[in-house]
Amino acid sequence: MSGWTRRVEEALGTAVASFAPLAGGCVGEVYRARLSDGRDIVVKVDGRAEPRLDIEGRMLSFLAETGTIPVPEVLHASPRLLAMTLLPGGSRFSPAAEAHAAELLAALHAVRGAAHGLPWDTLIGGLPQPNAPCASWVDFYRDRRLLPMADRALEEGALPRGMHRRLAAFCGRLDGWLEEPEHPSLLHGDVWTTNVLAVGGRVTGFLDPAVYFGHPEVELAFITLFHTFGEAFFGAYGALRPVRPGFFELRRDIYTLYPLLVHVRLFGASYLSGVDNTLRRHGF
């Protein structure tokens, strides 16, 4: 770690007293660093050929500027090195913490965008996430989310060709099932359990975002897929931003296809059954 220690010291202008590994993160290695002035911070390092930690830093700063959800303060962001404040908390959520998470995400989803997407591309789990703006949500979800992720999974040998054909045919029918939102909403994009921290009944931070403007239902679907939050969350969220009929019965499964394809690429064939089940349920 001596090389990274020097880089942190050069970036922050402060000596580093110690490094200790932390769990989590799909990209690079994660450490807890104690600085000579007594502060504890989180440091991510990425020694791969094409590091992109600067994009994660940009996403966190973008969220921070909205003032809607708590995120770590970015102290330094470059492709190989990301330093940020250490937030307290763990990933066990009381009903009060779930309700607080609902308040925070409802406020985030109230942030309006001019179009679906972003002027710049982001990442999800370290994978490129194209965000070229699009006026139609259905077109954006098909052409910037499902098809690009499926195409890359096919190229990498993670998605069988037959399933790719079925998914492409399914995408041609999306406008028969999905709805356009009232407006493009700012999304965290990756709200699963270890990306949220809480202490008692309060959420203290959201980590590892995959931000863009889109339909809030895709965020809610992601939350149900990995059981991040339960009834307390959805009761509180629905009181603030009512969920339209048909989400839980129909659209949720369509929206979970995207994180499932991400997981197919990152973690392998065990996630193909979820893709297959949704396609079969819709006649493909």
> What residues are labeled active site?
190
Residue entry with tokens 């059981």: 227
Strand stretches in 68-107, DSSP E: 74-78, 81-85
The per-residue b/e assignment along 33-48, b for 16 or more CB within 10 angstroms, e otherwise, is bebeeeeebbbbbbee
What is the dihedral sign for C-alpha 176, 178, 181, 184?
Answer: negative
* Rounded CA separation 159/147 (Å): 12
- The answer to whether 205 and 196 are in contact (CB under 8 A) is yes
Among 1, 13, 2, CA closest to 76 = 13
Residue 106's CB: how many other CB atoms inside 10 A?
Answer: 18
- Cα diameter, the chain: 61
Element at 223 (helix H, strand E): helix 216-225
- Enter the tokens of residue 252: 């949720």
- The answer to whether 198 and 271 are in contact (CB under 8 A) is no
What are the residues facing 41 on neighbouring strands?
33, 85
